[in-house]
Structure 1
Amino acid sequence: MDEVVRRLRAGGGWSRSSPRPWVGAVPPVVLLALFFVYPLALVVQQSFQPDSGGTSLQPYADVFASTAFREALWTTVWIAVASTVGCLVLGFVLALVIAFVPFPGARAVARFVDVFLTFPSFLITLALLFIYGTTGIVGSFQFLTTPWGVLLAEVTYFTPFVVRPLLAAFSQLDTAQLEAAGSLGARPLRIVRRVILPEALPALAAGGSLVLVLCLNEFGIVLFTGAKGVTTLPMLVYSKAILESDYPGACVVAVVNVLISVGLYGLYRVVSRRAGA
Structure 2
Amino acid sequence: MPSWLWALPPVAALGVVFLYPLYLVVKQSFQPDEGGTSLAPYTEVFASEAFREALFTTVWLALAATAGCLVLGFVLALIIAFVPMPGGRALAKFIDVFLSFPSFLVTLALLFIYGTVGMANGMWTDVTGAADGPFQFLTTPWGVLLAEITYFTPFVVRPLLAAFSQIETAQLEVASSLGARPARIIRQVILPEALPALAAGGSLVLVMCLNEFGIVLFTGAKGVTTLPTLVYGKAILESDYPGACVVAVVNIAISVGLYGLYRVVSRRVGA
User: 1:128 & 1:179 partners in 2: Cα distance?
Assistant: 41
User: 1:27 & 1:215 partners in 2: Cα distance?
Assistant: 32
> Taking structure 1 as the reference length, what is the TM-score of the superposition?
0.93
Report how far residue 137 of structure 1 moved: 2.4
Structure 1 segments, 4+ long, off by >3 Å, are none
Aligned equivalent of 1:243, options 237, 241, 253: 237
The residue aligned with 1:9 is none
User: 2:188 & 2:268 partners in 1: Cα distance?
Assistant: 22
Deviations 1:166-222 (A, max 9, x none): 000000001111000000011111100110001000000000000000000000000
The residue aligned with 1:63 is 45
Report how far residue 138 of structure 1 moved: 3.1
Counterpart check, 1:268 vs 2:262: yes
- Which runs of 5 or more residues in structure 2 are unaligned? 122-132
Counterpart check, 1:203 vs 2:197: yes
Task: Determine what percentage of the aligned residue pairs are the same residue.
Answer: 80
User: 2:47 & 2:169 partners in 1: Cα distance?
Assistant: 57
Aligned equivalent of 1:124, options 73, 92, 106: 106
User: 2:251 & 2:32 partners in 1: Cα distance?
Assistant: 19
User: 1:189 & 1:90 partners in 2: Cα distance?
Assistant: 16
RMSD value, Cα: 0.6
Code of the residue aligned with 2:100 in structure 1: it is T
User: 2:144 & 2:120 partners in 1: Cα distance?
Assistant: 16
The residue aligned with 2:228 is 234
Aligned equivalent of 1:167, options 140, 161, 166: 161
Report how far residue 21 of structure 1 moved: 1.6
Report how far residue 91 of structure 1 moved: 0.1
Aligned equivalent of 1:35, options 8, 17, 28: 17
User: 2:93 & 2:161 partners in 1: Cα distance?
Assistant: 11
Report how far residue 75 of structure 1 moved: 0.1
Aligned equivalent of 1:177, options 155, 171, 174: 171
> Taking structure 2 as the reference length, what is the TM-score of the superposition?
0.95
* SS of 1:138 mapped into structure 2: helix
* SS of 1:81 mapped into structure 2: helix
Code of the residue aligned with 2:6 in structure 1: it is G
Aligned equivalent of 1:220, options 214, 224, 235: 214
Counterpart check, 1:110 vs 2:104: no
Describe how 1:123-162 pairs up with structure 2 within 5 A.
Answer: 123-139=105-121, 140=133, 141-162=135-156
Report how far residue 36 of structure 1 moved: 0.7
Deviations 1:64-121 (A, max 9, x none): 0000000000000000000000000000000000000000010000000000000000
Code of the residue aligned with 1:170 in structure 2: it is F
Code of the residue aligned with 2:229 in structure 1: it is M
User: 2:85 & 2:259 partners in 1: Cα distance?
Assistant: 37
User: 2:177 & 2:6 partners in 1: Cα distance?
Assistant: 58
User: 1:156 & 1:87 partners in 2: Cα distance?
Assistant: 8
User: 2:10 & 2:176 partners in 1: Cα distance?
Assistant: 53
User: 2:6 & 2:264 partners in 1: Cα distance?
Assistant: 30
Aligned equivalent of 1:47, options 29, 49, 53: 29
